[in-house]
Amino acid sequence: MVDGDARPASSTTIKAPAAIDPDAAWAAFTRRDRACDGRFVVTVSSTRIYCRPSCAARRPRREHVGFLRDGAAARAAGYRACLRCLPDDVARDAAAVTRALTLLDEAERPLSLTELAAAVGYAPHHFQRLFTRATRLSPAAYARDRRTLRAAAALRAEGKVTAAIYAAGYTGPSRFYADATALGMAPAAWANGGTGERVGWCVLPTPLGPLLVAQTERGLCHVGFDEDAPALAELLPAATVRQADDRERSRALRWAESASLPLDAALTEAQRRAVSLAGIRVRARIE
């Protein structure tokens, strides 16, 4: 990892999710926390069933409750699935989210929520909730992030804003310029390799790998895993690239931590990284 300074890793490390904490799991179960569905299942020894943490059934006594990683582990221990909350459907939900991410990554035009939900076999509003719980982003926010990345790539390839607008699939300049605010600089400056921009960078350790965060006075201009200062200089050869100061480093850490909540374990590593990066860009954009 290239960082460029000797700051203690403990001051900036984003902690990975821990093993199941029985007290935290019980608290999630008692409040019927849907965000914990898929992270563990709840076993009830008195009935020999297992449930989602969000199951609507009446709560059993604490001494009858246990927690296992998933339905397979519960079935191996002799439990059967709850017929009320259908905990094994969590796997189907996760597969639908994984498929939707792939569709959004590959889409040549914006997909409506109705189209996306139909493609994975769910009702639109139900799928919106599933997708948001798994990724911490709405389908629309993730789709917009994909389009912004295509705009950035088109600017680098075309070298001119007008050509990039249509190369990236936009029908006109208004939406393009709205999305281009995520570039941290004017589109023309991005197309010209960061001409006139001062870019501060730092590398943060995260559970998904070293994370390069680069920013200008306008805000975030680039974020990526397993990248370093030379890679940033290659991306923005006309910019002045320097190490981030304390204020910039603190802001970078805040952006990264905002997107570091546990993601659905069923997502591929590439998808977890893509969703994390999208979350950081979304967070930076709204600050």
Pair 197, 214: CB distance under 8 Å: no
Helix (H/G/I), strand (E/B), else coil: 242: strand
Question: pLDDT-derived band of residue 257, with 50, 70 and 90 as boundaries?
Answer: confident
Provide φ and ψ at 38, rounded to 5°: 95, -15
The predicted pLDDT at position 281 comes to 93
Instruction: Let me know whether 144 and 266 are in one domain.
Output: yes
Instruction: Let me know whether 279 and 210 are in one domain.
Output: yes
pLDDT digits (tens, 9 = 90+) for 15-65: 444 589 999 999 999 999 887 888 899 999 999 999 999 999 999 999 999
Within a domain: 1: no
Please determine, for residue 137, whether its predicted confidence score (pLDDT) is greater than 70: yes
**For residue 108, with 0-12 CB atoms within 10 Å meaning exposed, 13-18 middle and 19 or more buried, which class applies?**
exposed
Instruction: Let me know whether 168 and 107 are in one domain.
Output: no
Instruction: Let me know whether 145 and 98 are in one domain.
Output: no
Helix (H/G/I), strand (E/B), else coil: 133: helix
Question: pLDDT-derived band of residue 265, with 50, 70 and 90 as boundaries?
Answer: low
Within a domain: 5: no
The predicted pLDDT at position 15 comes to 42
C-alpha 261/C-alpha 208 separation (Å) is 12
Question: pLDDT-derived band of residue 9, with 50, 70 and 90 as boundaries?
Answer: very low
C-alpha 94/C-alpha 130 separation (Å) is 8
Within a domain: 232: yes
Residue 28 sits in a domain whose CATH number is: 3.40.10.10
Average pLDDT, the chain: 88
Total structural domains within the chain = 3
Instruction: Let me know whether 80 and 171 are in one domain.
Output: no
The predicted pLDDT at position 3 comes to 37
Instruction: Let me know whether 81 and 99 are in one domain.
Output: no
Residue 184 sits in a domain whose CATH number is: 3.30.160.70
Pair 279, 137: CB distance under 8 Å: yes
Looking at 119, 135, 151, the residue that finishes a domain is 135
- Where in the sequence is the domain holding 61, given as residue range(s)? 17-87
SS3 content of the chain, % helix, strand, coil (to 5): 50, 15, 35
Task: Provide mean pLDDT across the span 221-234.
Answer: 95
